[in-house]
Amino acid sequence: MESKEKKSKPLQKGKAAKYVSLQVKFLHKLIQEWFAAQYLALLFWGHKSTEHHYKYQLFREHLANIDPADLHYVLRFTCHICPPSFHIIASFLMRDFKKEMVRFLITSSCICLCFAEYDGYKGHNFKDSVTEICRRESVNFSSEDSRLLLRSKVSMLTFASRSKIPIKCLKLSDVVEKITEKALILKADVSLGVLNTLRAIEVNRWDQKLIEQDYKNLIKFIINNEKVEVARLLLPSPPVAVKDEKVLSNLQSRNISGICKHCNDLEQPSCQ
């Protein structure tokens, strides 16, 4: 996409004034962010050479001035072009994440998107970043999330589960389309499987999208998440009665508490 602006300037030749047209082209912001990422990647590679160490310092200075809410593509492109830079970028994002809780969703989403661009060994530094995100109030999935963001969050939570990192709470708001015993099918056919380190889950769906079988599968899905202790179901109608003795026994043995819109006798859980 281009923005064009035409300007006219008088050109004097003798006594007659003539005008020439100048055309100014502006690159789309996304293209500018791509070139900015290439520049940052070149600076980052400078740390491998002692005589160019100042370039690496310049990389860190530029990074400190990037707002992930406005320029997240710069960070994502940089991780794609220069994978080793991922750890530094993640640490900078975590620094802001710790300072300003208001930016929690923006920063955590940006880290997830950068995660999707990086296929290398994650290492202990990255595990620390994931642990910091997962131990907070909750990891949120929303109907407003793009398919890429949903997949990035799923990828990070799967990594957390496989790395034995506790996930404090998972909240899904109007994003679950279908449910099986082993997975939640989110919008755009993004699948979220069982998370063995998940402690609490909240499912919110008010538009009657889910059917009776989904409710049955939801209970079984919660049970299959071995560490879940709290389940909160915010639904337009109460889930079907649980009659399976094996399922009931499992719920009781694990002392899983929960609440749904029409179940006043269940304990109010908290993800906090």
Do the domain assignments include residue 158?
no
Name the pLDDT band for 58 (thresholds 50, 70, 90). confident
> Which domain does 177 fall in, by range?
167-272
pLDDT over threshold 70, residue 216: yes
Do the domain assignments include residue 246?
yes
Do the domain assignments include residue 7?
no
Counting the structural domains of the chain, the total is: 1
Name the pLDDT band for 47 (thresholds 50, 70, 90). low
**C-alpha–C-alpha distance, residues 272 and 269, integer Å:** 9
Do the domain assignments include residue 85?
no
pTM: 0.71
Q: Is 117 exposed, middle or buried (0-12, 13-18, 19+ CB in 10 A)?
A: middle
Name the pLDDT band for 52 (thresholds 50, 70, 90). low
Q: How far, in Å, are 46, 105, 193, 221 from residue 137 at the CA level?
A: 38, 11, 21, 22
Specify the higher pLDDT residue, 270 or 145. Answer: 145
Do the domain assignments include residue 209?
yes
Q: 51 is written with which tokens?
A: 């005589």
Do the domain assignments include residue 186?
yes
